[in-house]
Amino acid sequence: MSGEPKQISCAEFQSHLSELIGSGADVSAHPHLQNCALCQALLADLQTIADAARQLFTNVEPPDDLWKQIESAIEKEENEEDKDTH
Ligand SMILES: [Zn+2]
């Protein structure tokens, strides 16, 4: 056991994964990934999802009046509640 480089478990690595991605670090260079095909596949999946999400958010812009629509919908609901209670 002595002298070996400290290996972290998959669970340990995965618990840090979102943190690593969020920090903008080069996750693919993480030592755990050098000898763990499972987490390599997981990371690839996450990157596919992240790329797809990024495309969704850049291509589909919410309409300018979206918030107004939400607000008026809330107001309408509140007014209807008032009617019920009075
Ligand atoms: Zn792993």
**pLDDT per residue over 28-72, tens digit each?**
889 999 999 999 999 899 888 888 888 877 766 666 777 777 788
Ligand 1 mean position, distance from CA 7 (Å)? 10
Q: Which residues of 34-68 are buried (b: 16+ CB within 10 A; e: fewer)?
A: eebeebeebbeeeeeeeeeeeeeeeeeeeeeeeee
Q: Per-residue confidence at 85, pLDDT binned at 50, 70, 90?
A: low
Q: Decide: residue 8, CB within 10 A, 0-12 exposed, 13-18 middle, 19+ buried.
A: middle
Q: How far is the CA of 57 from the centre of ligand 1 (A)?
A: 30
Comparing CA positions, the residue from 38, 18, 20 lying closest to residue 30 is 20
Q: What number of H helices and E strands is found in the chain?
A: 4, 0
Q: How does residue 11 score in pLDDT terms, banded at 50, 70 and 90?
A: very high
Q: Cα of 9 to ligand 1 centre, how many Å?
A: 6
pLDDT class of 1 with cuts at 50, 70, 90: very low
CA 24 to ligand 1 center in whole angstroms: 20
Q: pTM for this one?
A: 0.53
Distance of CA 52 from the midpoint of ligand 1 (Å): 24
